[in-house]
Amino acid sequence: MGVRHAVALSSGTKALELALRACGIGRGDEVLIPTYACSALWHAVQRTGASAVLVDCDLETLNPSPEDAASRLTKRTRAVILPNLFGLPCDPVSYRLPARVKVIQDCAQAMGARLGRKSVGVTGDACVLSFYATKLMTCGEGGMLLSDSQVLTEAARDLREYDEKNPDKVRENAKPSDILSAIGREQLKKLGSFLKRRAQLAALYDRLLGGTAGLILPVRQPGRVYFRYVVRLQNAAAEKIRTRLAARGIQAEKPVFRPLHLDVPSRGRFPNAQRAYASALSLPLYPLLSQGDISRVASALRDLL
């Protein structure tokens, strides 16, 4: 990831929490997080005692909208978590944040992604990875916190382990196991080939689905990776198409379980997240799929549309 220091942890959620705690964020502070993302972000913020402030998404990128984020900044905002959803990098520069706001680049879905010539990992104050079973590389479960700041990673390393230390603050047992880490080291050797294969399969979807009426394809951007191939249906009928694909033996899922604002306290409206929730569908994409599999999914989808 091009980053100097790293702390291996038990999960991506724990890496997010310790990134925030290592930045000194806690009670009384506000952290901007997307409403349209995995709920891990909300749980991590809650565990620090800070308040999560939800941000609407951009309908084209599905990442947090820079304009909406700007409108939710207050004097208490101390950090933002950028999700790099489905492998599409978020550029912190486009958010025009005040210098006091720490940027956590959540690369759970974007390991290996680049912004221009830079690894996404170096574009924030800290970067977080997840090695859960469905991720770009896996240890079964696991996570990592990376940063160019040794002060930050040392603070997280201290919090990760309670043993043989004075209980002067609340620490954790948040280490990954040696056995799972050994699997991760082997997976890391294959990450390049996994990413290449995913990009080839995504390009095939692009070719087979391009020009289909009523279908919006994922943003193509140099440096992105393909964790998911997320399409949007113009008539917002994701659920209907999902069930019909399932009837043909094709598992396409909503890429986000539920936008957070439907379940947790929030301020304002989230019209784009609402539309994304109704219209986005994640088509099957993983390195073991064959070109024939992709063709079968694409023709089933075209047929249903």
Q: Which stretch binds ligand PLP (CB under 6 A): 33-41, 145-153, 201-209, 249-257?
A: 33-41
Query: Could you tell me the CA-to-CA distances from 228 to 58, 92, 109, 218 in Å, in that order?
Result: 17, 22, 8, 9
Binding to ligand PLP (CB under 6 A) within 60-89 occurs at: 83
- Considering only 121, 143, 176, 255, the residue that binds ligand PLP (CB under 6 A) is 143
Q: Is 58 an interacting residue with respect to ligand PLP (CB under 6 A)?
A: no
Decide the pairing of beta strands 143-147 and 5-9.
antiparallel
Output 87 or 209, the one with its CB closest to ligand PLP. Answer: 87
Q: Is 13 an interacting residue with respect to ligand PLP (CB under 6 A)?
A: yes
Cβ atoms of 21 and 44 within 8 Å: the answer is no
Q: Residues binding ligand PLP: what is the number (CB under 6 A)?
A: 13
Output 61 or 109, the one with its CB closest to ligand PLP. Answer: 109
- From the centroid of its chain, how far is CA 32? 14
Cβ atoms of 101 and 81 within 8 Å: the answer is no
Output 132 or 162, the one with its CB closest to ligand PLP. Answer: 132
Q: Which residues, including other chains, have CB under 8 Å from residue 107's CB and lie 6 or more apart?
A: 1, 84, 113, 120, 121, 127, 128, 129
Q: Is 130 an interacting residue with respect to ligand PLP (CB under 6 A)?
A: yes
Q: Is 54 an interacting residue with respect to ligand PLP (CB under 6 A)?
A: no
Q: Is 37 an interacting residue with respect to ligand PLP (CB under 6 A)?
A: yes
Binding mask 99-118 for ligand PLP (x = CB under 6 A): -------x-xx---------
How far is residue 185's CA from residue 170's CA, in Å, rounded to a whole number?
A: 30
- From the centroid of its chain, how far is CA 177? 23
Residue (of 249, 199, 243) closest to 221 by Cα position: 199
Q: Is 132 an interacting residue with respect to ligand PLP (CB under 6 A)?
A: yes
Binding site for ligand PLP (CB under 6 A): 11-13, 37-38, 40, 83, 106, 108-109, 130, 132, 143
